[in-house]
Amino acid sequence: MAINLIATGQGIPDTTFNTLLRTDNGGWVAGDATYSISLPDGRTIWLFGDSFIGSVNPDSSLAPGAHMIRNCALIQDEMVCSALYNGTFEEPEDFVSTLNPDSTWYWPEHGIVENDTLKIIFSEFGTGDGSPGWNFAYRNAWVVFFTYPEIELIKHVELPYYQQNGVMYGDRLMTFNDYTYIYGRKEENPDYHIPLVHLARVETGNLLADWEFYDGNYWMSDPELSGKITDHAVSQQFGVFQHMDKFVMITQEIWFGTKIYSLVANQPEGPWSNTTVLYDTPQPFSDMFTYNAYPHPQFDENNELLISYNSNGDFWQIFNNVELYRPNFFRIPYTTIHPSFTPTGVYVWDEREMNIFSYPNPAMDNITFDIECIENKDIYIDIFNMYGTKVKQISSQLSNHENHKVKVDLSGFPVGLYIYKINGIKGKFLHK
């Protein structure tokens, strides 16, 4: 199938997240996958596959004593991360172990919070018959339950669908119109190993209820009737999310190609169009490759999407240069993805019926908060830097149904990302 690609070069490396994921995050120093789940309380849980726990020397080599585990998680609260894994720093163990850890292991997919429970899909892998370094094979998908907000393991539940339709589910979970949509991939022709997108859905609130499967035209109850929703091949990890009135898919060229793509649809199931090349990933080291781009829309800034991609290389060289095995982040303007994604301002609101419009964003000399509320309120504006340190506090009074403007002088503020809280409602702005 011929596809017209729109070549662009507007992706810009994101220094904030490239720095955040290169600090000593409770022992985690490198890994791949780089899934993120936005939690209801404003935190983000990052999920990684094979991960190194240890320390990094100034020359980017791993310090002696580093260990690799099969999966790990980071909890990001504001701009501070802490690692989640079992065992100790000296003898770390997987964040989530399979029921048969001697022969199989988990690599993470995406997840969702339902009814005060965090549910994450993990793919089970075991030893395969491939070449050294690639000697693994997919076994099945499991839903792993955790308490929320504590993130403590509850149970593992095996999904039955892979044996019925061969779809590897979990690349993205997305809620829309009372349904949770579960995106997955299937190698339609095993001889060529080209994954295509499949889609299931279930009524929101119970991920383990009976799923429905899209056959290319209709939703069906029989998992064997599942069909591809686009002819565009996707990487082993891809993401879909809603933006404005459309749905965006982010994926990467297979296998280990450097190009990252977007596709756009009006419905979760498609049809998908407007295929666009967003970024051509640099490869600064010899024998390095990149793979599995993934979107993180909870960190939208200045009408730009944050996207990660993984890098890898010779396993033993990672010990000499851990940069070979760390995620990389860049931002792309939403208008590059689709021309209708024109910024109209940065709004924040919640059930307390307070509307906040901040401009300009990004800001240079000052930023203005235009606040409206249906009742009289004392307003407290707290501004934090990317390390979570409060750098400014302003108090004001708001009369009901009044558009109240508060201008904040940013002179003396270092360039970077800032978080603001206005009576507990969070927002972000970039200071250039």
Summarised one tens digit per residue, pLDDT across range 315-333 is 999 999 999 999 999 999 9
CA distances for 430 relative to 10, 95, 364, 373, 421, angstroms: 18, 34, 9, 25, 15
* Residues 238-255, mean pLDDT to the nearest whole number: 94
pLDDT in tens, 167-213: 999 999 999 999 999 999 999 877 778 999 999 999 999 999 999 99
Check if the beta carbon of residue 107 is closer than 8 Å to that of residue 122: yes
pLDDT of residue 362: 79
pLDDT bucket at 234, cuts 50 / 70 / 90: very high
pLDDT at 357 over 90: no
* Residues 259-265, mean pLDDT to the nearest whole number: 96
- Fill in the DSSP letter of residue 414: P
Q: Where do the domains of the chain lie? A: 6-337, 346-431
pLDDT of residue 62: 95
pLDDT of residue 359: 82
pLDDT of residue 394: 85
* Residues 225-232, mean pLDDT to the nearest whole number: 96
* Residues 146-164, mean pLDDT to the nearest whole number: 97
> For residues 374 and 215, which has the higher predicted lDDT (pLDDT)?
215
pLDDT bucket at 3, cuts 50 / 70 / 90: very low
Q: Same CATH fold, 346-431 and 6-337?
A: no
pLDDT of residue 5: 39
Among residues 362, 374, 376, the alpha carbon closest in space to that of 410 is found at 362
Comparing 243-252, 263-272, 378-387, which segment has the lowest mean pLDDT?
378-387
Cα separation, 296 vs 31, whole angstroms: 17
pLDDT at 299 over 70: yes
Cα separation, 296 vs 39, whole angstroms: 12
pLDDT in tens, 371-418: 877 666 677 888 887 656 778 888 876 655 456 788 888 888 887 778
CA distances for 73 relative to 82, 96, 387, angstroms: 8, 9, 20
Cα separation, 66 vs 56, whole angstroms: 9
Q: How much is the mean pLDDT over the chain? A: 88
* Residues 30-37, mean pLDDT to the nearest whole number: 96
CATH code for residues 6-337:
2.115.10
CA distances for 365 relative to 14, 66, 407, angstroms: 22, 45, 10
CATH level 3 topology of 346-431:
Immunoglobulin-like (2.60.40)
* Residues 15-32, mean pLDDT to the nearest whole number: 90
| Range list of β-strands (E), 49-90 | 51-53, 67-69, 72-77, 80-84, 86-87
β-strand pairing of 51-53 with 67-69: antiparallel
pLDDT bucket at 369, cuts 50 / 70 / 90: confident
